Amino acid sequence: MYAARVEHASKRPDWLVGLAEVGEDLLADGPNLVPLDPESLLSAARADTGLGDFGSGDDFREPLAILLDSLDREANLTLLGRILVRAEVLNLLVNRLRITELVGRHPEIEQERIERPLHIVGLSRSGTSILHELLAQDPRMRAPLSWEARFPCPPPTAATWRTDPRIARADRIFRHWNELVPDYAAMHEMGGEVPCECIWLSQHSFRAEEFLGRQQAPAYGAWLADADLGPAFAWHRRMLQMFQWALPTPRWVLKAPSHMLALPALFATYPDACVVQTHRDPLQSMGSTASVLSALAWMRQSRVDVELIKAGFAGEGLAGRLGAMLAARDAGVAPPEQFFDVRFSDLMADPFETIRGVYAHFDIEYTAGAERCMREYLAAKPRAKHGRHEYSFDELGLDLETERARFADYQRRFDIPSEVT
């Protein structure tokens, strides 16, 4: 039932279905029509930029090779899917070349101090995005924007941050995403000037869950589960330093639900990080997350394995993610005062009272001007602006009592109300 529902809810337009069918014939006759091998992409990046140093030695080559092989063999990519994957990987390699060249000319970039950044982590669909966007409205805060992550070099200055022509390029990309699966706009708003997740920066190391969020690559996912995330956070920091060098930034506000699995690496890179963790009924979160990931996969794949999505983001898989987070916190990965917990229900009931709590906990001055900017942003972004995202726990085919018992300790610990009954 869930598979049928997902395919219906994420129905692709007729032109995309037709293109996928034509693409199957073309790929059958010429499997190298859109190559996904590392050398062809590395060569294309060098040719595009005239540069040859990708930075960080060779620590990106193994994950790059595993990722591309996994996508090639396992992702059921359509012709358009292969084109999108190749373009995105090529973009990351080009960015690496350009950033490495810029830092080589300006070594002072790596002396920039990223002080007490605010990191928002938590379950997917637990309010991380709206909290991130609201905090970024404070003039003393800055979030990396989607266009910057896509086209980061040269980094914008104060004079160009809101007028750069790369903003329009990014907007076109995200508009095309919504054209591929029209329902996606109601699930998650995208745009060049919308704050992006940290994994859009760390994916330049080819060690990031971002690749698993757009398409299915189980072999790469298995490798990533045990991978050293140090290089991912090194690239994350390098890009923030570059942005900050070009445009001075008092404090960064950052967001990635997947950082629940990476708290040790996060604090190893940012020892003074201030972590805001959002909490929501896991049963509600898993239905929404599965719906979003299915829609993203349908943009690029001829077939989507919904059971694979459920294995990673529902039931036992989701419990494992929460368990890793709790274990790290209980083991003292950082002092307790470097965490502040936010319940989704409280954030929705009174976002500004919640935000005042964040500021007070981390000893940040809360100003009337900051709240005014946040209120203006929220007023211009009503819920269901692009339609309502419909999903249901029942459609996952999981037993309610089993799942409620699985997450009982977590809900008690953070006093999380049940939304699914």
Q: What digits encode the pLDDT tens for the residues 86-118?
A: 999 999 999 999 999 999 999 999 999 999 999
Q: For 354-376, what is the mean pLDDT?
A: 97
Of the given ranges (282-296, 327-341, 388-402), which has the lowest mean pLDDT?
Answer: 388-402
**Cis previous bond, 154, omega within 30:** yes
* Percentage of the chain exceeding pLDDT 90: 71
Asked if residue 373 has pLDDT above 90, the reply is yes
Predicted confidence at residue 67, as pLDDT, reads 98
Predicted confidence at residue 292, as pLDDT, reads 81
CATH of domain 2-414: 3.40.50.300
Q: Spell 2-39 as b/e; 16+ CB within 10 A means b.
A: beebbeebbebeeebeebbeebeeebeeeeeebebebe
Closest CA to 91 of 260, 220, 204: 204
Please give the mean pLDDT across all residues of the chain: 90
Q: What's the chain's Rg over C-alpha atoms? A: 21
The residues with which 120 forms a beta bridge, in sequence order, are: 255, 276
Tally of CA atoms within 13 A in the half-sphere of 241 that contains its CB: 20
Tokens 């620590």, located at residue: 59
Q: For 142-152, what is the mean pLDDT?
A: 97
* Percentage of the chain exceeding pLDDT 70: 89
pLDDT band at 3 (very low <50, low <70, confident <90, very high): very low
Q: What digits encode the pLDDT tens for the residues 200-257?
A: 999 999 999 999 988 999 999 999 999 999 999 999 999 999 999 999 999 999 999 9
CA distances from 326 to 246, 264, 329, 332, 419 (A): 37, 12, 5, 10, 22
The residues with which 341 forms a beta bridge, in sequence order, are: 277
Tell me, letter by letter, the H, E, C secondary structure of 82-144: HHHHHHHHHHHHHHHHHHHHHHHHCHHHHHCCCCCCEEEEECCCCCHHHHHHHHCCCCCEECC
The residues with which 252 forms a beta bridge, in sequence order, are: 142
Residue 326 phi/psi, 5-degree rounding, is -65, -40
Please say whether the beta carbons of 244 and 309 come within 8 A: no
Burial class (CB in 10 A: 0-12, 13-18, 19+), 326: middle
What is the pTM (predicted TM-score) of this model?
0.91
Tokens 């040859």, located at residue: 52
Residue 66 is inside which H or E element, if any?
Answer: helix 61-74
**Alpha-carbon span 216 to 294, nearest angstrom:** 10
Q: What residues does each domain of the chain span? A: 2-414
pLDDT band at 193 (very low <50, low <70, confident <90, very high): very high
Predicted confidence at residue 5, as pLDDT, reads 38
Q: What digits encode the pLDDT tens for the residues 344-360?
A: 999 999 999 999 999 99
Predicted confidence at residue 12, as pLDDT, reads 66
Residues 6 or more apart whose Cβ sits within 8 Å of residue 357: 340, 342
Predicted confidence at residue 29, as pLDDT, reads 60
CA distances from 115 to 201, 234, 266, 274, 277 (A): 18, 15, 13, 10, 19
Asked if residue 402 has pLDDT above 90, the reply is yes
DSSP 280-333: --HHHHHHHHHHHHHHHHHHHBSS--HHHHHHHHSHHHHHHHHHHHHHHHHTTS
Asked if residue 16 has pLDDT above 50, the reply is yes
Residue 118 phi/psi, 5-degree rounding, is -90, 120
| Angle value at C-alpha 398, between 395 and 403, nearest 5 degrees | 125
Please say whether the beta carbons of 66 and 212 come within 8 A: no
Predicted confidence at residue 310, as pLDDT, reads 85
| Angle value at C-alpha 56, between 50 and 61, nearest 5 degrees | 80
Predicted confidence at residue 8, as pLDDT, reads 39
**Alpha-carbon span 2 to 310, nearest angstrom:** 10
Predicted confidence at residue 386, as pLDDT, reads 46
- Give the end-to-end CA distance of the chain in Å, rounded to a whole number: 20
Phi-psi region of 253 (alpha: psi -120 to 50; beta: other; left: phi over 0): beta
pLDDT band at 1 (very low <50, low <70, confident <90, very high): very low
Closest CA to 251 of 240, 236, 259, 239: 240
**Alpha-carbon span 280 to 296, nearest angstrom:** 23
Q: What digits encode the pLDDT tens for the residues 258-278?
A: 898 999 999 999 999 999 999
How do 118-122 and 141-142 pair as beta strands? Answer: unpaired
Q: For 3-22, what is the mean pLDDT?
A: 56
Task: Look up residue 363 and give its amino acid.
Answer: D
Q: What digits encode the pLDDT tens for the residues 160-173?
A: 999 999 999 999 98
Most confident of 13-22, 128-137, 281-290: 128-137
Question: Taking every pair of C-alpha atoms in the chain, what is the biggest distance, in angstroms?
Answer: 63
Closest CA to 64 of 46, 48, 82, 40: 40
